[in-house]
Every structure is written in structure tokens, then in C-alpha cells.
Structure 1
Amino acid sequence: MFDLIIRRGRLSDGTLSDIAIHDGKIAALGQVAGAAKCEWDLAGRYWLSAGWIDSHVHCYPKSPIYHDEADRIGVDTGVTTVVDAGSTGADDIDDFYQLTRSADTRVYALLNIARSGILTQNELADMARIDGPAVRAAVQRLPGFILGLKARISSSVVEKNGIQPLERAKTMQQENGRLPLMVHIGNNPPNLDDIANLLTSGDIITHCFNGKPNRILTPEGELRASITRALQRGVRLDVGHGSASFSFAVAQAAIAQGILPHTISSDIYCRNRLHGPVYTLAHVMSKFLNIGMTLPQVIDCVTCHAADGLRLKGKGRLLPGEDADLTLFAVEQGSCLFSDSDGQTLSGATQLVPVAAVVGGQVFVTNEGKKRNDFSV
């Protein structure tokens, strides 16, 4: 007997499928025969995907600048996995790890190359904070928790050090088994061309659609040659919306040229969750549905593409034997107004509304799902 069967869920391609869960894993897909301790029949009313992965959040609750609670930005909003992007460095990563063990959401971390993490906005202004041995020791202590490294390479963070912190980050990446390296871009110096030229296959540019002068598009609206070359080398683009790093104009111009993000992430923390313009990962995903991406493309950005980019095993796909991490959601039509990080607005007609998250077979119904009375646990 299965633990749970979800029947007639609508997949992102529009087809209907059952899914059976047993012992925390996906046991069967398609037309599932047999009984379960609990069954839901979605009757095609709700959509079903692998669990959503937000690959850029800030949820270390002790961080003085960017902080939140993992479950508030995770299962409460239909997100099954969050990856904290550099809130902590080697000094605090063990504390962060222990705090996350009580979360229902699956939590991972990208380790800030500054051992202090983000205690201040300029953590890479002092090169002495970039401690290679401390990074190596942390990665060795927490290999299942630390998925990669994070380097914030913009003028307010590096100050007079320019490109040097990124050069050190690339050295540390080599010393630690070529872990994924996420690089924050923003105001220059350093120039984005100099950043892009150092990046190699699997590296991640986050805040890829920011509207700052140091952006991926030229003043003429074309993709910078350095970014074209980086993409050809296998560098990945991550949205990392945040409070100051997403422009509708840049995203629309890029998507119109076929330049799609590999991953859609929120860069969420308490302030931009409560007061916008982020609110939730679903809200950020909805923006991309309204500026030219299809539902399958958007879902791939928070499932299989996110899992692949961060080497998350057992996640991101609806396949037998994979972790039973699922997101159930509605696709609702109706007038809605979205805002970017530059204060610009966009009228939309489609919104994603998460109704439940399943993490390792355990069900978490969102507040919106509870209102609908369609799910009994």
C-alpha cells in the first residue's frame, strides 16, 4: 500500500497524471493502480510539478542585514527547497546548519567566500576576510549542506579591491572540487566584462536581469559579447530578483531575443517578502509568465534546471525513485499588477497560486490551499 496517491494532477505540459508516494520517494507515475493510506483526486483542477527550488534566498535568522525563516519562504509558499546564497561564511555556517535541522523545508547553503558572511554590505572590502583554509574546512565539515560558494562582486561589496575577490573565489573553487560558484553582479567597478571573462562552465551569474549600468545588455539592447562567450562556455544565468536587482525592461528585451534564465530565484528575505517587490517565489515566477516565458519553461527553472545547476541529487524531476518533493498549484487568470526592483509596473493576467507542498512525502497545505478545502492530510 502506498502512503499517498495524488490522482489526475495536471503537469506543466497540460497532461494529467497520477503520482504515488511511499517511504518518502516517488513510487509510481501515470495511471497508478492500487490503494493508499491517503488519496487526493485533483481532477485536473490543480497543477503538479517536482518541488520548487528557490536557489537564491537569505534565511539565516541571525544575519543583521538579510534574514528570514526558512519555512516562511519555503513550505508556507509551496517551495520545498531553499538555498541560502551567502548569508553565512565559515564563521557562522555551523550555527546556520544546526538551526535549519528543525525546518520542514529542505535548506542548503552557498558559502560566502568572506568568513564573516554578510555582517556588513562590504564583506569583500577586506581581503583578509577571504580565508581559503577556513572555506576548505567548512566544506569538509558540511559536504551535504554546502552546495557551492557565493561571491558578491559589485562596487559596494568589494570597494577598492575590484576583481581580486573573484580571482580568489575561483582559486578556492578549484581547491574544493569545482563546487558551483554563484557570482552576484551589480554596480561597477569591477566591470561586468572583467567578471564574465573569469567565469567557467557551471558558474552562475545571479541578478542577471538587473537594470544597473553594469548589466548584461548593451545600451543598444544587445547581449554583451562577454556574456555571449560566457554562456557558450556553460555559464548559467540566475534571476535573483531581490529588492534592487530585477528590471522588467531588461528581462523583456533579453527574453524577446531568446536569452532565458537558467534558474528563477527570488533573493527573498523578510523585508522584500513583507513589503515587496518579491513577496514569494510564486510571485516572481508569475512575472515571467507575463513577460514571455511559457509555463513549462518557468517550472523547469525552479525544478530540473535548479537541481542540475546546484548538483542536487534526487530532486527536480518527477521520476520513480526520486525524493517525494512536490508542489501543487493553481494557474489563475485575472488582472494583476506586478512591480520590478526599479519601481516600474506591469499589468498581467496570469498568476501561480501554490496550494500545497510535499517534502519527503510529508504534506504541507498552504494558507491558500486551506481556504479551498480540497486537501485532507
Structure 2
Amino acid sequence: MYDLIIKNAKLIDESVTDIAIEQGKLIAIANTITGQSRRVLDLQTKHYVSSGWIDSHTHCFAHSPIYHDEPDLIGVKAGVTVVVDAGSVGAIDADEFYQLAQQANTHVYSFLNISKIGLLRQNELADIQNIDVPLFDTTLAKYPDFIIGIKVRMSRSVVGDNGIEPLVKAKEIQKKSGLPLMIHVGNNPPDLDEIADLLTKGDIITHCFNGKPNQIFDKENNLRESIKRAIERGVILDIGHGGESFSFAVAERAKCLGVYPNTISSDIYSKNRLQGPVFSLANVMTKFICLGYSRKRIIDSVTHNAAQILHLKNKGVLSVGYDADLTIFDVKQQAISLLDSEGEIRQSDEQFIPLASIVADAAKHSIRIEITEEGSKNGLRISN
């Protein structure tokens, strides 16, 4: 007997399918699935389903003094099945964060800040002594399934007079662990060219479309040669929208040059969730509709691409054998005004609306289902 059958679900290519789930896994995907099931969710060909959305840059350590939020508020209640905290936490708070993360219904992972204090203050790398390599290594070894990457913030307000040195140390740490390295870029120094030339395949430049002077385009509005070389080497571009790090103009120019982000992420925390300009991952995704991105490219950026880049096994693909992490959503034909981090407003005639999250619980070989407020308004119901 199946645990759940989803009937008449639309895929992003507009085809319609049934999906069967058992013990937290996708068991069958076919035009019609028959057989007994404990629960049935009929989408009546009205609503879309994709692999669960992954937000690869968030701040969800609830006890952080600066950037904090609750994982489930930015996760399952917003259609997101996986949230990755991007450096809120350093080694000294890793134990506490891990314990809090286990209480969430959303899958929570961490990119551990190379500064042992994490974001206890904004300039966590101004004192190079905060990079405690033995403590960092011990913490990585303690939580191999929770810490999935390394975070280093490389902007003037963070590193102080230390310039490029924190990134050099982060690359040394990375060589031992093999984990993905996410690099925050902002105002210089250090200069983006200096940063980019140190990066290797699989490293992630977050805030890739920021509108600051240290952006990916030079003064002539051409893509920096260092960024071209980095992309050719396999360096990843991640949006990391946030309150100050996404420009419609930069994103539009990039698209004109055929430069696309590998992952779309929010850099969400309580302030920019409640007051904007982020609000939710779905809102950030909608901004790429008005930039002319295809729905498939957008969905791939928060599912398959993210899972592959973050090395999340059995996630990110809607296929038999994968974890039953799913997002049910609408692409609503309704005008919306969208704000970037530079204060520019653009319009979209449609928007992504998350209706429900289904999350695999590997330990219990089961699933958790969260219907969003919008899903309830749309009459989404599970029948027994």
C-alpha cells in the first residue's frame, strides 16, 4: 500500500502525471497509478509539482544576533523543502545550530563560516585569529551530514585590513575537506578580480548579480575577464538576493551576454522576509520570469542544479528512487510589482505561488506534508 498518491499533477513542461510515494521515496511516476494508498492528493491538472525547492543561501539560525529566522517559516511554509544556512554559524555555535535544525520539519544544512564566531558581528574576519583551523576541522568531522560546505565573506566591511588572506585560508581548509566553498562578494577591497582568480571548479560566487562597484561587469559594462575565466573553470554563480545584493540591471545585462546563474537563492532572513525586498524564494524566482527566463530554467535552478552543486544525494530530481521531497505550486496569472536591492521596480504578469511542501523523513521512512496558507485558500486537501 502506498503512503500517498498524487493524482493529475502538472509538470513544468505541462505534461500530466501521477506520483506514488512509499516510505519517503518516489516509488512510481506514470500517466495513471492504481492501487491502494493511505492518502490521495488530486491536483486535477490545475497545479504544478516539481522536486522540492532548495534555497541554497539562507540565514536560519534562530539564535543569531544579526541575521536570523525560523527554518520552517522560510522552508516548508513557503514551499521550500531544503534550506541551507550560508555562514550564520561558526564552529563555536555549530552544536546549538545542529540541535535546533533537528527540530525543524524542513531539511536544514549548513555552510560553516570559516570564522569561529560566525555572524556574531559583521566583521567576523577582521581578526584573523577567528580562523581556528583545528576547531573548524573538528566541527566538520563531527557533523558530516549536516555541514555541506564552507562559507567565507570577502568584502571590506567583513575582512577589515586582512584583504585576500581569509580566502587563501579558506582554500587551504577546502583542500582537506573537499567541500564546496561559497564566497560572498561585496564592496572592495579585496577586488573581485583578485577573488575570482583564486577560485576553482565547484566554488560558488554568491551575490553574483549585485549592483555594487565590485560587480561582475567592468566600467565599460563588459564581463570581467576574471569572471569569464572563472566560469570556464567551472565556478558556480549563485544569486543570493538579500537586501543589498541583487540588481535587475546587472541580471539583465548578464542575460544579454548569455551569462546565467546556476542557482537562484534568496539570502533570506527575518528582516528582508517581512520588509522585503526578498519576501520568499518564490518571490525571487518570480523576478526571473520578468527577466525572460523560462519556467524550466528557474525550476532547475532551485532543484536539480542546487542538489548537484551542493552534493545533496537523492534530492533535486523527480524520478523513481529519489527522496519524496516535492513542491506543489501554481504559476498564477496575476500582475505583481517586484523590487530589487537597488530600489528598481519591475512588473511581472505571472508569479510562482507555493501551495504545499512534501518532505521525506529518512529516519522514519515517511513523509511530512505542509499545506501553505495559499494552498488552503485553493482548496488543497489530502483525502484518506
TM-score for both structures, normalised by structure 1: 0.98
Q: Distance in 2 between matches of 1:120 and 1:8?
A: 49
Q: Distance in 2 between matches of 1:268 and 1:11?
A: 27
Name the residue aligned to 1:43. 44
Give the AA of the match of 1:268: I
Q: Distance in 1 between matches of 2:222 and 2:48?
A: 36
Q: Percent identity?
A: 53
Give the AA of the match of 1:111: L
Asked whether 1:242 is paired with 2:248, we answer no
352, 373, 377: which one aligns with 1:371: 377
| Aligned pairs (5 A) from 1:87-166 | 87-166=88-167
Name the residue aligned to 2:355. 355
The aligned length equals: 376
Q: Distance in 1 between matches of 2:372 and 2:221?
A: 40
CA contact (8 A) 1:256 1:292 kept: no
Q: Distance in 2 between matches of 1:214 and 1:55?
A: 22
C-alpha distance after superposition, 1:17-71 (max 9, x if no partner)? 1111000110011222322111122122101000000000001011110000000
| Aligned pairs (5 A) from 1:1-377 | 1-31=1-31, 32-176=33-177, 178-360=178-360, 361-376=367-382
Q: Distance in 2 between matches of 1:219 and 1:315?
A: 40
Q: Secondary structure at the match of 1:44?
A: coil
Q: Distance in 1 between matches of 2:217 and 2:309?
A: 23
Q: Secondary structure at the match of 1:327?
A: strand
Q: Secondary structure at the match of 1:357?
A: strand
Give the AA of the match of 2:248: F
TM-score for both structures, normalised by structure 2: 0.97
Question: How far off is 1:219 after superposition?
Answer: 2.5
Q: Distance in 2 between matches of 1:220 and 1:317?
A: 40
Q: Secondary structure at the match of 1:37?
A: coil
Runs of 4+ in 1 over 4 A off after TM superposition: none
Question: How far off is 1:296 after superposition?
Answer: 0.4
Q: Secondary structure at the match of 1:330?
A: strand
Question: How far off is 1:218 after superposition?
Answer: 1.9
CA contact (8 A) 2:371 2:380 kept: no
Question: How far off is 1:166 after superposition?
Answer: 0.2
Question: How far off is 1:150 after superposition?
Answer: 0.1
CA contact (8 A) 2:330 2:354 kept: yes
Q: Secondary structure at the match of 2:120?
A: coil
Q: Distance in 2 between matches of 1:163 and 1:247?
A: 25
Which consecutive residues of structure 2, in runs of 5 or more, have no partner in the other structure?
A: 361-366
Give the AA of the match of 2:112: L
Give the AA of the match of 2:258: G
Q: Distance in 2 between matches of 1:342 and 1:141?
A: 40
CA RMSD of aligned residues (A): 0.8
Higher mean alpha-carbon deviation, 37-46 vs 270-279, is at 37-46
Q: Distance in 2 between matches of 1:184 and 1:350?
A: 30
Question: How far off is 1:260 after superposition?
Answer: 0.7
Q: Distance in 2 between matches of 1:135 and 1:299?
A: 34
Q: Distance in 2 between matches of 1:89 and 1:366?
A: 32
C-alpha distance after superposition, 1:269-304 (max 9, x if no partner)? 000000000000000000011102100000000001
Q: Distance in 1 between matches of 2:378 and 2:9?
A: 16
Q: Secondary structure at the match of 1:356?
A: strand
Name the residue aligned to 2:364. none
Which consecutive residues of structure 1, in runs of 5 or more, have no partner in the other structure?
A: none
